[in-house]
Amino acid sequence: MSRRRVALFGGTFDPPHLGHLNLALQIKEKRALDEVLFVPARANPLKSEQPIAPFEERVELLKLLIEGFDGLTVNTIEATREPPSYTIDTVKSYLSSREDIELFLILGEDQLATLTQWKNYKELFSLAKPLWGARPGINYQPTHLQELIKEGHVEINPLELSATEIRKRLKKRANCSDLLPSSLLDRIEQKALYL
Ligand code: ATP
């Protein structure tokens, strides 16, 4: 029997947006994944700024983002662990309770620039194969890990948006209906997030 192909997709998701959904759906289809787990971080060790929205709110927004899509789920494995959230710890913890899984990591190509700063990245990529999708504005020329990078590259049509840009627009109360589904916009407004 072939192993289930599962990918972890980590991020701050502050807020989650259509760029994240687009990346996950295209990689899922192109690499025939059975499941993609969105794994919100409590805090990213390589980002100096802390997330703006509380963890629980980012989880709720993610649930709204993936609603109705088969094979996409939100996983709160990082909820109880003290920050910083290292991917290697998340991967080990995920694998410890499961068998017969072929594990992958979904990443945007901007992550390549900091790859070698990740905790135990060689071990990490032996446990979970990285899959990267293009990110607009990123033209990173990799010099390390060439083979791994070539193997994991997935051609996608990226959407040009970032959470930073969305937070700025929300703060100005600018229209964000092209960036976020209305269910997320409604909740963000209800909870007065990102003001
Ligand atoms: P911020 O602007 O706050 O840094 P972000 O939009 O980059 O946030 P993250 O939560 O940091 O979102 O990203 C999680 C993952 O999603 C990262 O691997 C990132 O490269 C990827 N990603 C984010 N936005 C896009 C996009 N528009 N297209 C492709 N990948 C993306």
pLDDT tens-digit readout, 5-28: 999 999 999 999 999 999 999 999
| 16 within ligand 1 shell (Cβ under 6 A) | no
CATH class of the region 4-160: alpha beta
Question: Can you tell me which residue has the tokens 């980002």?
Answer: 47
Residue 33 has pLDDT above 80, yes or no: yes
| 40 within ligand 1 shell (Cβ under 6 A) | no
Q: If residue 131 lies in a helix (H) or strand (E), which one and from where to where?
A: strand 129-133
| 23 within ligand 1 shell (Cβ under 6 A) | yes
Q: Which two tokens stand for residue 178?
A: 């092209």
Give, using CA atoms, the residue closest to atom 30 of ligand 1: 108
Cα 128 to ligand 1 centroid, rounded to whole Å? 19
Cα 146 to ligand 1 centroid, rounded to whole Å? 22
Question: Can you tell me which residue has the tokens 């996950």?
Answer: 24
Q: Taking residues 100-119, what's their average pLDDT?
A: 88
| 108 within ligand 1 shell (Cβ under 6 A) | yes
* In the chain, domain spans: 4-160
- pLDDT for 51-64, tens place per residue? 889 999 999 999 99
For the whole model, what pTM was predicted?
Answer: 0.93
- 16, 62 Cβ separation under 8 angstroms: yes
- 161, 184 Cβ separation under 8 angstroms: no
| 132 within ligand 1 shell (Cβ under 6 A) | no
